[in-house]
Amino acid sequence: MKNNATQRLKGQAALVTGSSSGIGAGVAKAMAREGAKVVVNYSKSPEGAEKVVQEIRDSGGTALAIGADVSQEDQVLRLFERMYEAYGTIDILVNNAGLQKDAAFVDMTLADWQLVLDINLTGQFLCARQAAREFIRRGVVPERSRAAGKIICMSSVHEVIPWAGHVNYAASKGGVMLLMKSIAQELARHKIRVNSIGPGAIKTPINNEAWETPEAEKKLLALIPYGRVGEPTDIGDVAVWLASDESDYVHGTTLFVDGGMTLYPGFAENG
């Protein structure tokens, strides 16, 4: 473990939704390393969540797995209650749970559309609302942070880049952008900081087809000026900074962590 003086989230309670794998697992581990007590939320994979919890505990951190489908209001309420039973409160919410259900637009079923909107957008609404209620009730605890609470929404480069074949996903992330900004505008007076991270292509199970084979990876790299596919630790490190007082004046913004994917590299030698 790092020594306490460098633990930027020391004593804070963090909930990372959807952290049994992928970016969420990377964020949960990074926050635990910085001294946060972490809730590893999962919906489908208790085994994955327990593995993340064990890894955190093995390196001296504090973590607990709690199951809940973030699109279900009763489950979200119970998730927060169980977190408060364990840690007393919440200081950091990382609204990370998300999925893809890809289909050509004309073949997309209402169920495909609804599922993605329910998890990726409604889930973020439900969790942010619960966290904000607790932040307002409790207020600032100066020993822990300058803010009364921090909300980090996991968005995507697809909050700005249109994505054929994935319109449900892109619409959900476009929605997350204005959800985040509107919450940020409304909650600033309570000293609640709200921001998004917009990852580009990160090596996780959600997009393994896009980077698993050398051919696929080569094609993907044409979209990434910086020349490498990201890793969950790239996002974990940024999430720690965004949750810490080092970013205390950063509010209502999306930080793209994408190796330059949002620079529209197709225009580098064209247009």
Active site residues: 169
Q: Closest separation between CB of residue 65 and ligand BGC, Å?
A: 23
Is position 168 an interface residue for ligand BGC (rule: CB under 6 A)?
no
Helices of type H across the chain: 22-33, 46-58, 73-87, 110-117, 123-138, 167-187, 214-221, 232-243
How many residues are given for the chain? 271
Q: How far is CA 51 from the centre of its chain?
A: 19
Q: What is the DSSP letter of 21?
A: S
Q: Segment 180-209, which members bind ligand BGC (CB under 6 A)?
A: 200-201, 206-207
Cα Rg of the chain, angstroms: 18
- To ligand BGC, the closest distance from the beta carbon of 185 in angstroms equals 25
> Is residue 156 a contact point for ligand BGC (CB under 6 A)?
yes
Q: What track of x and - describes contact with ligand BGC for positions 55 through 94 (by CB under 6 A)? A: ----------------------------------------
Q: Which of residues 99-128 bind ligand BGC (CB under 6 A)?
A: 100
Q: Do residues 31 and 92 make contact, with C-beta atoms less than 8 angstroms apart?
A: yes
- Of 215-254, binders to ligand BGC (CB under 6 A) are none
Nearest approach, Cβ of 206 to ligand BGC (angstroms)?
A: 5
CA distances from 5 to 8, 35, 80 (A): 8, 10, 29
Does the protein bind ligand BGC through residue 210 (CB under 6 A)? yes
Torsion angle of alpha carbons 193, 12, 258, 65, nearest 10°? -120
Cβ-based nearer residue to ligand BGC, 148 or 153? 153
> Measured from the CB of residue 265, what is the shortest distance to ligand BGC in angstroms?
12
The residues of the shown chain that bind ligand BGC, judged by CB under 6 A, are: 100, 156-158, 200-201, 206-207, 210
